[in-house]
Every structure is written in structure tokens, then in C-alpha cells.
Amino acid sequence: MKYKIIPVTPFQQNCNLIWCDKTNKAAIVDPGGDVDRIIAEVEKHGVDVEKVLLTHGHIDHVGGATELAQRLNVPIIGPHKDDQFLLDDLADQSRMFQFKPCDTFVPAQYLNDGDVVTVGDLSLQVCHCPGHTPGHVVFFEPLTKTAWVGDVLFKGSIGRTDFPQSSHPALIDSITKKLWPLGGEVEFIPGHGPSSTFAQERRSNPFVADQLFG
């Protein structure tokens, strides 16, 4: 498994190109925008993109999804159906955050907790992690113990819960009951900012460190 972080949009959202180094098949996670830059990375690495994966319905994560899916002729998969209300609202989100006008869309497939998404020979496990948004999902690659967690968890912080249908208690449950059991050694790539490990966050994250729940 290999991946490349591609920061996109004025929000410096971590779009990711993930690929199987045996088959050269790839997926793009959260193409928020800057589609030309994403396609340049695809060409640079010479990989064959099979699908676009979405963690949740916020525009900085999905703003380039339809354009990218059309240009590469691949399906959009995810998030969980509980985020469809955000995808239905993309025209408003694009105005509000001054993004390129963005049409609403329905993904080819919604994702549920326990689903497995393949990328070549790789299998990514899907964890439904509501809280930041109700339909947020996380992708976990168990062999390398790598997780793409969107806006659930950050190095030293957690996702905002001041949006419509956000829930702080649900977010805390998602982190402590869905993510921590995957293992302290898991390295995660958040939707914004630097990577970290679950063990590091359990030690020092001011919102979800173990000592807060003792």
C-alpha cells in the first residue's frame, strides 16, 4: 500500500491518493477541489484510479468529486447515507465558503459500518463514525495499520460539532469506541493538518486523552 497526501482548497484539506503497489490500482479519498492538481499526481505516479471515496459531505472534502469522477470515468463511493442532506446542500455550501459552484449529487454507493472497499489487492475497512457529521465514515487499511479519518480526529484536536446534525457525544463515542479498538499503533491521516498515531492522541489529545475518562 502506498499513499500520497495532496492538500487542496483554501482549507488545505488532505486529499489522498491511495494505491496498491502490486496492481497499480488506486482510489482518491476526499477530492475537495483543485482537480487538475489531483490528476497531475495520478499521472506522476502512473496509477490507474478505480474509484473516488468520500469520508463525509462537507464541501472541502467533496467539492471536486463529480468533476474528478467524470474526468476519470470512475464511481463516487461513500459517505454513509446520513450525509446525503449535505450533498443535497452543496450549492449553498459552495456559495457560503466561496467554492467553485458545485452541483448536488448522489454517490453510486453509500457506505455502512463493516463494509470493505477494495483498491486492487487492498481491502479498506469502513467504520461509520458519526459526530462531526451524522454520515461520516473512516477508512482503515489493516495490514499497514493506516486510517484515513477525515474530520473525526486531528493531531491534538477533534472535529467541530457546531454544524447542523453534529453531535459532540456521538463524536467522542466514535473516537473512543470505534477508532481506539483498531490499535494504538495505527497511524492516521486526518482531513486537515499533520498525521499522528492513536496512541499519541490517547496520551496527549486535550479532547480525548485516556486520562479524561479515567
- Residues at the interface with Zn ion (CB under 5 A): 58, 60, 151, 191
In the complex with Zn ion, which residue's Cβ is closer, 25 or 58? Answer: 58
Cell of 4: 500520497
In the complex with Zn ion, which residue's Cβ is closer, 43 or 162? Answer: 162
In the complex with Zn ion, which residue's Cβ is closer, 42 or 171? Answer: 171
| Spatial contact of 56 and 149, defined as CB atoms under 8 Å apart | no
Nearest to 185 by CA among 152, 155, 142: 142
In the complex with Zn ion, which residue's Cβ is closer, 119 or 149? Answer: 149
C-alpha distances (whole Å) from 147 to each of 88, 100, 186, 188 are 27, 29, 7, 5
Cβ of residue 58: shortest distance to Zn ion, in angstroms?
A: 3
Cβ of residue 24: shortest distance to Zn ion, in angstroms?
A: 29
Contacts of 52 by beta carbon, 8 Å cutoff, 6+ apart? 27, 28, 29, 31, 65, 68, 69, 72, 74, 75, 76, 77
| Spatial contact of 99 and 9, defined as CB atoms under 8 Å apart | yes
| Spatial contact of 102 and 90, defined as CB atoms under 8 Å apart | yes
> Measured at the alpha carbon of residue 42, what is the angle toward residues 152 and 79, in degrees to the nearest 5?
30
Q: How many Cβ atoms from other residues are within 10 Å of residue 40's Cβ? A: 12
CA distance 190 to 205: 14
In the complex with Zn ion, which residue's Cβ is closer, 67 or 151? Answer: 151
Cβ of residue 118: shortest distance to Zn ion, in angstroms?
A: 25
Cβ of residue 191: shortest distance to Zn ion, in angstroms?
A: 4
In the complex with Zn ion, which residue's Cβ is closer, 66 or 133? Answer: 133
Cβ of residue 22: shortest distance to Zn ion, in angstroms?
A: 31
Cβ of residue 61: shortest distance to Zn ion, in angstroms?
A: 6
